[in-house]
Amino acid sequence: MRGFTYERAADVASACASVAQNSSARFIGGGTNLIDLMRAGVERPSHIVDISRLGLAEIAETPEGGLKIGAAALNSDVAADRRVRERYPLLSQALLAGASGQIRNKASVGGNLLQRTRCPYFYDTRMPCNKRSPGAGCAAFDGLNRMSAVLGASRSCIATHPSDMAVAMSALDAEVEIAGDGGKTRTLPIGDLHRLPGETPDIETNLRHGEMITAVVLPPPPAGRQIYRKVRDRASFAFALVSVAITLDATGGRIGAARIALGGVAPKPWRVARAEEIVSGQSAERMSFDAAADAVLEGAQGYGHNDFKIELARRTLLRTFETASQA
Amino acid sequence: MTETTGKQNLVFIGQPIDRLDGPFKVSGRATYAYEHQHGEPLHGMLMGAGVGKGRIRRLDTSAAEAMPGVHLVMTYRNAPAQASFGEELTVKPGTQRPRPVLFSPDIRYYDEPVALVVADSLETARAAIQQIEIEYSTAQGIFSLEDAREAVYAPATANAGLATESLIGDAEAAFASAPMRFDATYTNAFEHHAPMEPHAALAVWNGSQLTIFTSTQTLWQIQEGVANTLRMPKENVRIVSPFIGGGFGSKLIAHAETISAALAARALNRPVKVAFTRQQMFANAGHRPMFEQRFRLGADRSGKLVSFSHDSLGTTSRFEEFAEQSASAYRSMYAAPDRATRHRLAPLDTNRGEWMRAPGEAPAMLAGECAIDEFAEQLGMDPIEFRILNEPERDPERNVPFSTRKLVDCMREGAERFGWRARQAKPASVVEGRKLIGIGMSAAIRANYIGPGSCRVRIDRQGELTVELDMTDIGTGTYTILAQVAADSMGIPLRRVGISLGDTLFPRTAGSGGSWGATSTASALHDACRLLKEQIVRVARETLNSPFFGANGEGFEFSGDRVIVGDRTAALTDLLELVAPEGMTAVGTVERGQNLRDYSQHTYGAHFAEVEVDADTGEVRLRRMLGVFAAGRIFNPKTARSQMIGGMIWGIGAALMEEGGLDPRYGNFVYGDLASYHVPVHADIGEIDAVFLDEHDDKANVFGAKGIGELGVCGAGASIVNAVYNATGIRIRSFPITVDKVLAVLPEI
């Protein structure tokens, strides 16, 4: 870990200004990922701006009937919030499926969204990794890539985004509130927050340096059931091999609306609008679900050790659909 | 003069006493290696090589050296001279070879230390490492079993001096002519020890005297390893290790953190502490080799085995051999007239494998107990009945009697308790919702040994007993059981016993390893107490105003805090006031006995597991597990049960998730932290229990007790794999059986 300076930000604007003016500055929230990365030498910030005490931990009702979750809210607090559990059980399930109790007690919502891949070649600074050192190559591509992406990857990077929470938020059509240098604010649909790697896997989000996530806004909950299903190598404290977030309104055997997001398979929560359109209005049966699964997994490609994820994702998706459609 | 022993002497032995070190551990007063303070220690950190085989081509440490707070950057260029690693054959059995660090620009394995940075703080040391510029010329290394096939060879012996091969009769011919045959090959993944406490050492020099506070299972091996490496008399090296946060075989010998701390502390004339990072543990602290094991079993139509062959190919290191004794595991297990077991090694450019809990039995029985299950099914037999049918009357290879052997009782008792009768022999018969349910079992055997050693006891005039030996408590309960043994041996209350472990100033023991720690050290302690009692009685008989002056009769007894000689009796403390006002000391010993040669001496067990397999995803989750064991007298059923459960959980890990991944291109263990190398968590375990059958092995030692530390893992994983088969009808012969492997063959329901 390199020497760095630490600043406890007084307010959002100064925090953003502080990071914006230093290209190697980083925000720190719970630090559950950043500090690990600093120890490993993957992140080497010269300046750390602590944004955990800016009054951004609140979970509040929105006039539209949704919830606004402050970026500094702890994962465990969000998972336990009565409103979240009652109206967005998908989000609570996803949060509780992630990490461990200790980590959830420390990790923030904003940090969870911006956590970095757990690709082991990314973590070992002696290994070639385009995400860490652009142009170095991708060791995972021909390597032990069992955990790697099968969707949205590129020749330069096949890393996955590890978050469970983001997958649920994606299916819930969340919007991300962002503050920038000079007090400017903007909003991004969560689907536009993360970028696919393409030729620049080092650029992971559409945030500009110095921009900060201040909140995640959930619109009113979708009609129907919400289910988060995570498949993993052990019963707890493991990243997803595949996860499925579904909201499904299938009263009377006909699908009104469905939202589908996959985790563990792509560089970002994987949501395919066409798949949701395909099932909308169809009868809630295997054929409809198959068609949706085909659409979600269109273009899926394995890289050897992770080939199984395609079939696993399909099976998990179909089963979750069927569970959700059984009232 | 002899001791007359009665049942009343066992007051504490056999009782579920809470571990005496528990309060220290939960309140933070148990000081672990890295927590020791001595002056103001400097912090050293190792930098690991970034290639698996090659040579340092360019090295620039100037930026690191220039950093404020950095005291030393040690590399092959400036490291003090050490004894050379030496040729394999120069190392005499039972001695420790030199293990020099930073002695050459050549890289033998990925993450081998190439530099040590010593700084005021850990953070500074870590930052300085990031400033070191290093480049390598890379050589072609061998990093997979496939690539090593041409170089496969037979070792001179397997670990612990066990025979490379055992060939009885003609196993091949018997197999070829057997009416029923089974032939299958299983692969086991690399495993990592992953103890909670990484390897750590604080080195302190005082003139020519070196003291190292470290975390080890076996103090003398560290002492000798350090002394041999630094070319100094071992008497000048003191090792201190009172608390150990798990070892599992990875803390038996000196590793780079200890040697480098000693070198740096001497160079800087300051105490230096060095610990492996969690990531460094994976390549630098040993591992379990990977195995490819072929079982060829032949039987007659009744199910009696006529041929048993076990061929085990394990990986080793190209620069230092480790032949895990996997093919020895079945030499005493099942009856078959014609038999063959063979070890072969595939040398890789990795660090050497090291002893991991139940070396030999653990990987062998994970595979072999599946083979037995498969063959039983092929023969149309219940796997328990098949095993009982092939139960030997004498050791099938050595042709000596068993000291005790309650394997059949373990299986029968386990079957009864677990509800084995409810098992549907036809696989994939039980479905609950989208879960396939199955149960399976396996058997266990583990060799029993005694490790020579000694123990010092001292009793003061108040009857307080101090016990000193360089034994370790690696979380197993040694402090507690030795206190129980001492209290019963002297007939005094537990609270008057003080156990001091983990210091080479104390008498030498064989340490914790090979499941021999408890029985060996308890035997030495018992011997020391016997000598102490004899001394007390002798002096008492000779002391004029003693109640035993001139007492008749040979026998004596210490119990209930009283001493009985003939028909006279006295309170122990009254006697001590009189005969030992300055206290009294005795040193006892234990040696390997003749019984190990004259008898086949093992512990036994049977595992039962129930699993559910998700019909959609292939996820395997354990519902419940039971182990039934026969291991002689149990000193402390509470700590013993913990030991067994811990071993069984390791079996769960080996069967379902533990997988060390070696990248065949670079030679790095890719799953190099606890997020990617999965060990079971609480949620994986379900219901678990371990029970012991009553047993007393009078060929083992004075207590009739045998070692238990490794028995729990033996065969444990196979019960789970067999349960997965019973649930799904699929046999997976590549461990661990992860979702990807299950999914590929999962039947549709």
pLDDT value, residue B5: 57
pLDDT value, residue B8: 52
What separation, in Å, do the N-terminal and C-terminal C-alpha atoms of chain B show?
Answer: 75
Dihedral over Cα of B408, B412, B414, B415: its sign: positive
Q: Which residues 50-79 in chain B show a CB within 8 A of chain A?
A: 50
Q: Which residue from A minimizes the CA distance to B434? A: A319
For residues A29 and A108, the answer to whether their CB atoms sit within 8 Å is yes
Using alpha carbons, select from A36, A52, A50 the residue that is nearest to residue A1.
Answer: A36
- The two tokens of residue B609 are 């597991």
- The two tokens of residue A75 are 């994962």
Residues B551-588: b if buried by 16+ CB within 10 A, e if exposed: beeeebbbbbebbbbeebebebbebbebbbeeebbbbb
Set of chain A residues whose Cβ sits within 8 Å of the Cβ of B739: 231, 233, 241, 308, 312
Q: What is the interface size between A and B, counted as CB pairs within 8 Å?
A: 98
- The 3-class secondary structure across B184-247, one letter per residue, is EEEEECEECCCCCCCCEEEEEEECCEEEEEECCCCHHHHHHHHHHHHCCCHHHEEEECCCCCCC
pLDDT value, residue B89: 43
Residue B435 sits at the chain A interface (C-beta within 8 Å): no
Q: What angle do CA B97, B99, B104 make, to 5 degrees?
A: 130
Task: Report the relative pairing of strands A5-8 and A47-50 from DSSP bridges.
Answer: parallel
Q: Which residue from A minimizes the CA distance to B69? A: A3
Find the Cα–Cα–Cα–Cα dihedral B516, B518, B521, B524, rounded to 10°.
-100
Residue B687 sits at the chain A interface (C-beta within 8 Å): no
Please tell me the distance from the alpha carbon of residue B64 to that of residue B116, in angstroms, as a whole number. Answer: 11
- The two tokens of residue B297 are 């079993």
**Residue B421, SS3?**
helix
Q: Which residues 251-270 in chain A show a CB within 8 A of chain B?
A: none
Report the residue of A100, A126, A246, A326 to disrupt the B interface, i.e. the one with the largest count of B CBs within 10 Å.
Answer: A126
What backbone phi and psi angles, to 5 degrees, belong to B540?
A: -65, -35
Please tell me the distance from the alpha carbon of residue A132 to that of residue A129, in angstroms, as a whole number. Answer: 5
Please tell me the distance from the alpha carbon of residue B342 to that of residue B328, in angstroms, as a whole number. Answer: 8
Please tell me the distance from the alpha carbon of residue B392 to that of residue B585, in angstroms, as a whole number. Answer: 47
Please tell me the distance from the alpha carbon of residue B183 to that of residue B298, in angstroms, as a whole number. Answer: 9
Q: Do residue A237 and residue B681 have CB atoms under 8 angstroms apart? A: yes
Residue B436 sits at the chain A interface (C-beta within 8 Å): no
Tell me the nearest-neighbour CA distance from A150 into chain B, angstroms: 14
- The two tokens of residue A263 are 């985790």
Using alpha carbons, select from B220, B642, B709 the residue that is nearest to residue B448.
Answer: B709
Set of chain A residues whose Cβ sits within 8 Å of the Cβ of B126: 1, 39, 41
DSSP code per residue over B580-638: -TT-EEEEEEE---THHHHSB-EEEEEEEEEEEEETTT--EEEEEEEEEEE-BB-S-HH
Quickly state the pLDDT bin for A227 (edges 50, 70, 90): very high
pLDDT value, residue B21: 96
Please tell me the distance from the alpha carbon of residue B238 to that of residue B227, in angstroms, as a whole number. Answer: 10
Residue A120 sits at the chain B interface (C-beta within 8 Å): yes
Using alpha carbons, select from B185, B232, B242 the residue that is nearest to residue B29.
Answer: B242
B170 Cβ contact list (under 8 Å, min separation 6): B338
Please tell me the distance from the alpha carbon of residue B406 to that of residue B631, in angstroms, as a whole number. Answer: 9
User: What residue spans of chain A are helical by DSSP H?
Assistant: 12-20, 34-40, 75-80, 82-87, 89-96, 101-104, 109-114, 120-123, 165-171, 273-279, 286-296, 308-325
The label of the residue with tokens 């309060």 reads: B23
Report the residue of A46, A233, A310, A311 to disrupt the B interface, i.e. the one with the largest count of B CBs within 10 Å.
Answer: A233
B86 Cβ contact list (under 8 Å, min separation 6): B97, B98
The long-range contacts involving A121-125, CB below 8 angstroms and separated by at least 24 positions, are: A121/B670, A122/A42, A122/A159, A123/A37, A123/A40, A123/A42, A123/B672, A123/B673, A124/A40, A124/B279, A124/B668, A124/B672, A125/A40, A125/A41, A125/A42
Quickly state the pLDDT bin for A177 (edges 50, 70, 90): very high
Q: Do residue B678 and residue A233 have CB atoms under 8 angstroms apart? A: yes
Please tell me the distance from the alpha carbon of residue B743 to that of residue B454, in angstroms, as a whole number. Answer: 54
E-assigned strand segments in B82-208:
106-107, 113-119, 133-138, 165-168, 180-188, 200-206
Using alpha carbons, select from A137, A41, A138, A187 the residue that is nearest to residue B128.
Answer: A41
Residues B701-738: b if buried by 16+ CB within 10 A, e if exposed: bbbbbbbbbbbbbbbbbbbbbbbbbbbbbbbbbebbbb
Residue B681 sits at the chain A interface (C-beta within 8 Å): yes
Residues B427-438: b if buried by 16+ CB within 10 A, e if exposed: bbebeeeebbbb
- The two tokens of residue A176 are 């991300």
What is the set of active-site residues of B? 710
Tell me the nearest-neighbour CA distance from A177 into chain B, angstroms: 31
Q: Do residue B663 and residue A139 have CB atoms under 8 angstroms apart? A: yes
Residue B617 sits at the chain A interface (C-beta within 8 Å): yes
Residue B668 sits at the chain A interface (C-beta within 8 Å): yes
For residues B599 and B699, the answer to whether their CB atoms sit within 8 Å is yes
CB atoms within 10 A of CB B687: 10
What backbone phi and psi angles, to 5 degrees, belong to B515?
A: 60, 20
Residue B135 sits at the chain A interface (C-beta within 8 Å): no
- ipTM, interface predicted TM-score of the complex: 0.97
Please tell me the distance from the alpha carbon of residue B654 to that of residue B679, in angstroms, as a whole number. Answer: 8
Tell me the nearest-neighbour CA distance from A44 into chain B, angstroms: 9
For residues B310 and B330, the answer to whether their CB atoms sit within 8 Å is yes
pLDDT value, residue B552: 77
User: What residue spans of B379-516 are helical by DSSP H?
Assistant: 383-389, 407-418, 478-490
What separation, in Å, do the N-terminal and C-terminal C-alpha atoms of chain A show?
Answer: 52
B599 Cβ contact list (under 8 Å, min separation 6): B400, B401, B402, B403, B699
What backbone phi and psi angles, to 5 degrees, belong to B46?
A: -95, 145
Tell me the nearest-neighbour CA distance from A210 into chain B, angstroms: 25
**Residue B662, SS3?**
strand
Which amino acid belongs to residue B262?
A
User: What residue spans of B379-514 are helical by DSSP H?
Assistant: 383-389, 407-418, 478-490
Please tell me the distance from the alpha carbon of residue B272 to that of residue A99, in angstroms, as a whole number. Answer: 35
Residue A126 sits at the chain B interface (C-beta within 8 Å): yes
Q: Do residue B672 and residue A120 have CB atoms under 8 angstroms apart? A: yes
Cα separation values, B495 from A3, A82, B17, B484, B580, Å: 51, 52, 12, 10, 20
Residue B30 exposed, middle or buried by CB count within 10 Å (0-12, 13-18, 19+): middle
Parts of chain B with a pLDDT under 50: 7, 89
**Residue A216, SS3?**
strand
Statement: residue A12 has pLDDT above 50: yes
User: What residue spans of B214-360 are helical by DSSP H?
Assistant: 219-230, 256-268, 278-284
- What does R_g of chain B's alpha carbons equal in angstroms? 27
Set of chain A residues whose Cβ sits within 8 Å of the Cβ of B117: none
**Residue B476, SS3?**
coil
B66 Cβ contact list (under 8 Å, min separation 6): none
- The two tokens of residue B550 are 């001139």
CB atoms within 10 A of CB A299: 8
Residue B537 exposed, middle or buried by CB count within 10 Å (0-12, 13-18, 19+): buried
Please tell me the distance from the alpha carbon of residue B71 to that of residue B221, in angstroms, as a whole number. Answer: 30
Residue A202 sits at the chain B interface (C-beta within 8 Å): no
Using alpha carbons, select from B471, B550, B548, B484 the residue that is nearest to residue B709.
Answer: B471
